Structure 1
Amino acid sequence: MILRRFAPLLCLTALAPQGALAQKAEQTYCASYDLPQSYQTDAFAAPMTYRVQNTPNGKVLIAEGQIMAGESQRLQQAIAKAGAIEEIWFNSPGGAAMEGPYMGRIIRARNMAVRLRKEYACISACSYAFLGGVIRTVEPGAYYGIHMFSATGDSQGMLELFNRFQGVSTKRTELIRKGNPQNKVDAAVAEYVAHELRTWEKESAKIAAIRARYLVEMSLSLDFMTDAFNTDSDKVCYLSQAGLTRYNVANAN
């Protein structure tokens, strides 16, 4: 997704106090930020690119730009071409939802470390790719953003859904042509629509289950999904330092 579509959101999560005498408390796990103007760049909005950079602490691979379909294969190729590297640095507004976990598993299989540098951003699908790091560092001043996944950002998925509902008109015309009474036509069309919606719901639930399993694999707290699912797909919840620690997104000491 293009970053300029996003409106930062302040998310609050209540902590359950321990003990009968404990006072009710709230902890801010998400924070509202205005991203620097530097993020409105062609490189950040363009398809992801990979480049190797030498740093005082060793060689790193920088992954910058939108995550596109098939990105996990391109990441795998970039890692192989880069050779021995210390870390992967992400700077991405996200993109193809399912590519995030695929990329993360490639990173985890190689026992690699990841870093989100100060003033770098890792949002949406990128936030899931980042979790593949065995060692995950989020520097103060970095922007780690999460939100509810959305099939509406998948053009192929939307085309398939459109084609499904195109069948409603065909079904209705066929029933009328056969001389069915209006009440039977309406009932049949309603059942057809309900069936397609149930299929869509099952597919959405499947995606949610896949993401939950991925979070467990990457040693994340499933509470992570609370802020993600409570944030509309056209908004972003930027995790605060408290949230990054609470959910185990940042695990470097």
Structure 2
Amino acid sequence: MVAAGVSVADTEAATAAIPRDPNNPSCPRTLDWSTYREMRFTLFEFEARRILKAEGMIDADAALRLRDALKQYDPIDEIWLRSPGGDARVGNQAGMLIRKAGIPTRIPPGWACFSACNFIFMGGPIRFIDDGGNFVVHMFTHLADKDAVHAEVSQGADKAAALIGDVEQDSAMLASEDNDFLIKMGVSRKLLTEVMYKQKAVASGGDKSTRRCLTGQEAVKYNVANAQ
């Protein structure tokens, strides 16, 4: 949160002074999004509040473990997020669980919530991005495993065409699901069209940028953060 007497301009000037990623200049050089290979859910108490930390990769069973954690640790006052993303559809499922439970979400100072983590965060009916917290977006891709793509393409035109068809179909479905999710969560769909979908899916050529960190003003503009 912005401290009393400190303007948004002052806060964003301080953020800009942090060393930047040369390939993704909207983001800090280092993003703390946890290295756990499976998302972990742990409870701790902070300022008389019960906080559930959600940290690490969003794996196939993350939503199931979140469901169990919500039951085990009830009541929970907030969920804090730190993740490099992972399974996009599981991220949506986890976000829906949080919305149903009515628990606020937060990205604390220095923590980063990237990719599928965005959708878990947006599940909170009340959403905080603290000063120094990073809500990091990108254009999703189903072609991240280049070796697998090359293996398919090397088998001939028919295999390549089938792969492209599958990718196009699944991408269209996921884009539709993301759009519906934002509507349900009360987040502007322009977050997709004006920010997420304008990022490059794969770094190539002279422009290596593949992700974008929202400014505080952008987070408010798209209703990603709706509380301070």
Cα deviation digits, residues 144-185 of structure 1 (max 9, x gap): 100011213489xx97x789768x66xxxxxxxxxxxxxxxx
RMSD: 2.6
Counterpart residue number, 1:216: 183
| Distance across 1 between alignment mates of 2:40 and 2:145 | 21
For structure 1, which runs of at least 5 residues remain unmatched after alignment?
1-5, 11-30, 170-188
Rounded Cα–Cα distance in structure 1 between residues aligned with 2:74 and 2:144: 34
| 1:95 is the counterpart of 2:101 | no
One-letter code of the match for 2:179?
A
SS of the residue 1:249 aligns to = coil
The structure-2 alpha-carbon separation of the partners of 1:52 and 1:245, relative to structure 1 and needing over 3 Å to count, comes to: same
Q: Look up the match of 1:35.
A: 30
Flag the 1:163–1:207 CA change in 2: closer, same or farther, 3 A: farther
Counterpart residue type for residue 196 of structure 2 = A
Percent pairwise identity: 27
* Relative contact order higher in (CA < 8 Å, ≥ 6 apart): 1
Aligned-residue offset at 1:58: 1.1
Looking at structure 1, the residues matched to 138 and 123 of structure 2 have their Cα atoms a distance apart, in angstroms, of: 18
Greater gyration radius:
1
The answer (yes or no) to whether the contact 2:63–2:93 under 8 Å persists in 1 is: yes
Of 26, 32, 45 in structure 1, the residue corresponding to residue 35 of structure 2 is 45
CA distance in structure 2 between the partners assigned to 1:7 and 1:98 by the alignment:
30
Counting matched residue pairs gives 199
Correspondent of 1:231 among 175, 191, 199: 199
User: In the alignment, what sits opposite 2:64?
Assistant: 73
Unaligned runs of 5+ in 2: 1-20, 203-209
TM-score, length-scaled by structure 1: 0.70
Contact 1:8 1:32 in 2 (8 A): no
User: Contact (CA 8 Å) 2:219, 2:225: kept in 1 or not?
Assistant: yes
**Superposition TM-score, scaled by structure 2 size:** 0.77
**8 Å Cα contact 1:51-1:62 kept in structure 2:** yes
Q: Spell out the pairing of 1:185-204 with structure 2 (5 A cutoff).
A: 193-194=160-161, 196-204=163-171
